[in-house]
Structure 1
Amino acid sequence: MISASRLLILLALVLSVSGCAVYTVADTAVTVVATGVKVTAKAVGAVADAVIPDGDEDKEEQD
């Protein structure tokens, strides 16, 4: 028969590992969302740079 102290230690270990698993899943979700936002921002910036003239061509023509 398993003693109460061994059962308590086993229960504590199982709960601590499950806590790590929850943290890992949450961290992964945040990382995925942050990466998605970063990629979207870069894409929007690239489109804005392509659509909006920056005036560099005007400076070259004046020289």
Structure 2
Amino acid sequence: MSSQRKFLYHFKNVRWAKGRHETYLCYVVKRRDSATSFSLDFGHLRNKPLYEVDDLRDAFRTLGL
């Protein structure tokens, strides 16, 4: 098992992660109408700082998604 320090080195969500593992956030935006749902958007964010992820979440909330 790796130490906490080693884990944080490899998986810290930094903008440029050269020599480290990268952090991905995958997302699917679905709209549900009655018993069915369909995808409106999907994608991934790679090595984004937390404030950019929060901006994306806020945009979806504004759209009512």
Shorter-chain TM band? under 0.3
Q: Which has the higher contact order (CA 8 A, sep 6+)?
A: 2
Question: TM-score, length-normalised on structure 2?
Answer: 0.26
Q: Which has the higher helix share?
A: 1
Larger radius of gyration, structure 1 or 2?
A: 1
Q: Which has the higher strand share?
A: 2
Question: TM-score, length-normalised on structure 1?
Answer: 0.27
